[in-house]
Chain A
């Protein structure tokens, strides 16, 4: 009895796996060269707005500890 249930659940599992693989096999794929050039273009377009690439002037750096002002 239990081995029959076990084999039924293996069949159910196998059917699910086939179903899932059918979905994954059916997708449309683009060429890696096209994907690469679009990733490179995205980085290029956004580089000048990336503070960690461009550097942050001390006066505009929100995380930098501000030194206290002394009145001379």
Chain B
């Protein structure tokens, strides 16, 4: 018993030491803020996007949507138990099985438990189980080169994982509540998170720390979802206040808003060609804007 206690004390001491070491290393490279660096960049001005289509068809809250690689079709999921596939050019629902869509052959699925699983869609088997978060894992995103993925959880942490090794490489803290949304910046070198603490943050992977926080004292609603425009300059963040707010990713300023839903925005997505943004809501509608 005494030996175990001694080992436990030693391990705890080593943990504390390592955590301090990580904080010191992060501080050592923190030689200037992103907002200061971006002060010389031209402003994007007010971003005013128009509502182009409202897609009606679901009978209950929408909780997820995903663009097809063709930037034309889109799938939405609702509490009504249906997956609907839409042709966003015409606004029509497609009567076609999901296998007609191009999908990646590996699909990440966040489970409402402390793990996320990597599924092989062809065999239907779980390939790897990633265990590390101590709270429900609420959001996932695959890196542009597909070698890593990021997860955001109810323990307020974001983690970077190696897909093949199944190991956690980095952990990012700073949020004070559940992370509901997470996305890679297109270059693959940064990630963006959205949380119930009403903030979005960008973390740079190579500097291993938060580089900018997107917050506004007038915004008191949690972030449910986010998507990034094709250049990375605009962040579309869906909130519990029924709106999708648009942020300048470099300057950290709010530059626009997509208003029109009658309930919380639950999902947001920009297609690969960057031609618009789709918002899905608990009001059962999806809206297309550009």
Q: Point out residues on A near B: beta carbons under 8 Å.
A: 7-8, 10-11, 14-15, 17-18, 20-25, 27, 29-40, 42-44, 46-47, 49-53, 56, 61-65
Q: Point out residues on B near A: beta carbons under 8 Å.
A: 1, 4, 7-8, 11-12, 14-15, 18-19, 21-22, 25-26, 28-34, 37-38, 41, 44, 47, 49, 52-53, 72, 88-89, 91, 132, 167-171, 185-187, 189-190, 202, 204, 206-209, 211, 229-234, 249-250, 270, 273-277, 288, 290
B33 contacts across to A, CB distance below 8 A = 32, 36
A22 contacts across to B, CB distance below 8 A = 18
Expressed in whole angstroms, the Cα–Cα distance for A25 and B274 within the complex equals: 37
- Contact call B32/A33, Cβ cutoff below 8 A: yes
B88 contacts across to A, CB distance below 8 A = 62-63
Knowing A24-B169, A39-B250, A63-B52, the reply to whether A33 touches B37 (Cβ < 8 A) is yes
Expressed in whole angstroms, the Cα–Cα distance for A61 and B289 within the complex equals: 11
A–B pairs, 8, beta carbons within 8 Å: A14-B8, A15-B11, A21-B15, A22-B18, A23-B169, A36-B204, A42-B189, A65-B91
B168 contacts across to A, CB distance below 8 A = 20, 23-24
Expressed in whole angstroms, the Cα–Cα distance for A62 and B21 within the complex equals: 52
Knowing A25-B22, A29-B29, A61-B52, the reply to whether A40 touches B171 (Cβ < 8 A) is no
Expressed in whole angstroms, the Cα–Cα distance for A61 and B185 within the complex equals: 25
- Interface SS of A by simple majority: helix
Given A29-B208, A50-B229, output 9 extra A-B contacts at Cβ < 8 Å: A10-B8, A18-B11, A25-B21, A31-B29, A33-B31, A35-B211, A39-B211, A52-B290, A62-B275
- Contact call A36/B169, Cβ cutoff below 8 A: no
> Of the candidates B15, B18, B187, B274, which one forms a contact with A42 in the assembled complex, judged by CB atoms under 8 Å apart?
B187
Expressed in whole angstroms, the Cα–Cα distance for A22 and B29 within the complex equals: 19
- Contact call B44/A39, Cβ cutoff below 8 A: no
